[in-house]
Structure 1
């Protein structure tokens, strides 16, 4: 990635700008089980992010942020419950839902005990979480009619709890790099857990769709683009608030950029991947520069940065339109990236103004937008790569994305 994202946030930010988002992608809301499975993955990954937000705000003692973060986590839980009813039925979810709510309560209790330095309360919360792991894993395995082993379910849930408690421990110890690294692992693990549940509870025909290359591309591209939104949110928050976790957050967004670049390399080759990395990296730097200018109260620099983002959006749109043989037009892509950037700027402005409720609402909206974008891009990428294959060849060249490391 170009640059090192070494920016310093100082001073108090100006009030939030009011910029309504009016651009939308043409993708309709998903309705078939395969598309809903991607939505389930998204909600599981988002749960991990929002739970970490709540835990960290408890540790910081930031009561205003706690309220907004808890509201966002509750919204995620409601959405997850509603979706699982559509996919798996009310009987299954009526038992799952209270168990899930209990584990959220205990994660918050764990973080509150960390903040209070109450080792006894922390240990009690941890014991309750371990009990939850056993109960929920047994229920999921029993409800799957043998498609999900109890040991596998327990391992997955135990890892989820371990990730969130360990990132909280590291954050409380001010080891921000370890906290953010674990948080990335937590997000990726929970996102993939959504696919495990879909594979265990959907019909055999729907499960077959989940193995198709283009579906896997939609899923994995969605994971990386949504994580980009999450990590940009982290680094811009650190920039506008001038907090000590900025460098760690910057390293995580750089790692995500490397992962996206690896994905482009696997589909289109090194030359195009390098061009993508240069454009995407510049885009990230502009978003962080905007946040730093907001923190410094430098409105002129904010406006210059927004103008540079408009140029980037056209450049990236033209690049991807050419790469896909105009399967997505430059105009469509420019509009999509403009919505993406405008949302991220609105999030930075709201956070700088300490309007945490709006910040979380915008972040939630932006996270969801990425899956519409990922679906459109994945279909265009898949068709482009498939068109280059010999007629009758196995179309597996666009099915996987590189995981990459932090």
Structure 2
């Protein structure tokens, strides 16, 4: 793959990185923190001591982005007539809904969490009904589902407006929820019509919009210093890296599934994945320059190629090709780790990074193996674990990247804030 120019998402990331450069104070390098482990317990609990309010905000972003992906996969499985996969995706959606409800309960209370879970589950049911209408070519079912979804959109928007005490406006909430549902229905329409490039373009737009929606909701719900922390450059960097790296997981798994089934959407899925790789390279360009971006993109693209090669070999039951792909992945993990260690001025250990990248790849390969064996519950469980792992990796990398950029600056440099919620959330 060739290094592309900075596109729409790359330009936004460049602006963010400029904010990091002018706002982060220079100082001694910090030791690398351990990868955070999400605290998930059954039932309503108070905010875990290991997760601050801003960390919970990033968690909400990740969960909402994950919802959009699982909902799309759920709908596509139904459209294809792959009922076993659709049922597994539905179960994964249920776990995602439970996780969001628990997170909101930690902040807003158990009664509010129960109300959210009820509304959100009804919204998921109507998405399934819409997909059933597409699969059965039943326009009446689709129209009825769309009308029900409009009503649930309004109810969910009102829920978030109330939770924010009006800091999130009704107009903004309604618009955001409508866009979320419109994305999911549009990608399903395109997928059912075999317009796979359009389906996957909207799939990406849906994920990106819903991930950002999580940030908007969190910024409205949180108050005082917690809300201000979310607008600081380092937290915005964590958010944006989290979005790109988690999207990488989502898209590479989509490509491997198409490779295993020899699906007609393989080429379109590959182009969507290339788009994410280009966005990640643009991020590296913004932080470390064009040479580093070119080197990163080459390594990252080869890494993706080997994951897909492993999936195809698994489907073909070719153990030789599988082991070759696994061996090449191990080599790439070491090279990527060395690249990141050098880029961050050794703020990250190449040994530790190689281990983290190995864990990432092992999860992706286990997902491919389970999917090829039609063990869809296991495959989606691996997908959820990989998504979580990359969210944690984003935190680790963002801190090191921010410290690396800050170390280049003179002590006492100019400072500026960074905010992207103006016009959506009222001034406090």
TM-score w.r.t. structure 2 length?
A: 0.86
Aligned partner of 2:36 among 27, 30, 43: 27
Deviations 1:345-381 (A, max 9, x none): 1111111111111100000000000111111110000
Distance in 2, Cα, partners of 1:293 & 1:80: 37
Per-residue deviation at 1:290?
1.2
Whether 1:142 aligns to 2:162 is: yes
Question: 2:193 matched to which residue of 1?
Answer: 173
Distance in 1, Cα, partners of 2:88 & 2:114: 26
Question: 2:183 matched to which residue of 1?
Answer: 163
Question: 2:424 matched to which residue of 1?
Answer: none
Question: 1:220 matched to which residue of 2?
Answer: 240
Q: 1:213 to 1:181 in 2, by over 3 A?
A: same
Unpaired stretches in structure 2, ≥5 consecutive residues: 4-32, 39-49, 421-428
Question: 1:234 matched to which residue of 2?
Answer: 254
Deviations 1:40-70 (A, max 9, x none): 1000000000000110011111111111111
Whether 1:345 aligns to 2:365 is: yes
Measured on the aligned residues, the alpha-carbon RMSD in Å equals 1.8
8 Å CA contact 1:88, 1:202 repeated in 2: no
Per-residue deviation at 1:237?
0.3
8 Å CA contact 1:25, 1:332 repeated in 2: no
Distance in 1, Cα, partners of 2:57 & 2:87: 30
3-state DSSP of counterpart to 1:328? coil
Q: 1:25 to 1:53 in 2, by over 3 A?
A: farther
Whether 1:370 aligns to 2:379 is: no
Per-residue deviation at 1:212?
1.1
Distance in 2, Cα, partners of 1:276 & 1:175: 32
TM-score w.r.t. structure 1 length?
A: 0.91
8 Å CA contact 1:240, 1:352 repeated in 2: yes
Q: 1:207 to 1:399 in 2, by over 3 A?
A: closer
Deviations 1:131-154 (A, max 9, x none): 111222123223322201100000
Question: 1:379 matched to which residue of 2?
Answer: 399
Question: 1:95 matched to which residue of 2?
Answer: 115
Per-residue deviation at 1:397?
11
Aligned partner of 2:344 among 324, 330, 333: 324
8 Å CA contact 2:238, 2:398 repeated in 1: yes
Whether 1:273 aligns to 2:293 is: yes
3-state DSSP of counterpart to 1:207? helix
**Structure 1 segments of 4+ aligned residues over 4 angstroms from their partners:** 395-400
Per-residue deviation at 1:96?
2.1
Q: 1:232 to 1:291 in 2, by over 3 A?
A: same
Q: How many aligned positions are there?
A: 380
Aligned partner of 2:329 among 300, 309, 315: 309
8 Å CA contact 1:386, 1:395 repeated in 2: no
Question: 1:182 matched to which residue of 2?
Answer: 202
Whether 1:125 aligns to 2:145 is: yes
Distance in 1, Cα, partners of 2:77 & 2:61: 25
Distance in 1, Cα, partners of 2:285 & 2:160: 38
Per-residue deviation at 1:398?
11
Per-residue deviation at 1:25?
5.9
Per-residue deviation at 1:394?
3.6
Per-residue deviation at 1:291?
1.4
Question: 1:388 matched to which residue of 2?
Answer: 408
Per-residue deviation at 1:86?
1.1
Question: 2:8 matched to which residue of 1?
Answer: none
Aligned partner of 1:261 among 260, 278, 281: 281
Per-residue deviation at 1:263?
0.4
Aligned partner of 2:97 among 65, 70, 77: 77
Question: 2:263 matched to which residue of 1?
Answer: 243
Per-residue deviation at 1:296?
2.0
Question: 1:48 matched to which residue of 2?
Answer: 68
Whether 1:104 aligns to 2:144 is: no
Distance in 1, Cα, partners of 2:114 & 2:402: 38
Deviations 1:239-296 (A, max 9, x none): 0110100000000000000000000011111111111111111111111111122222
Question: 2:7 matched to which residue of 1?
Answer: none
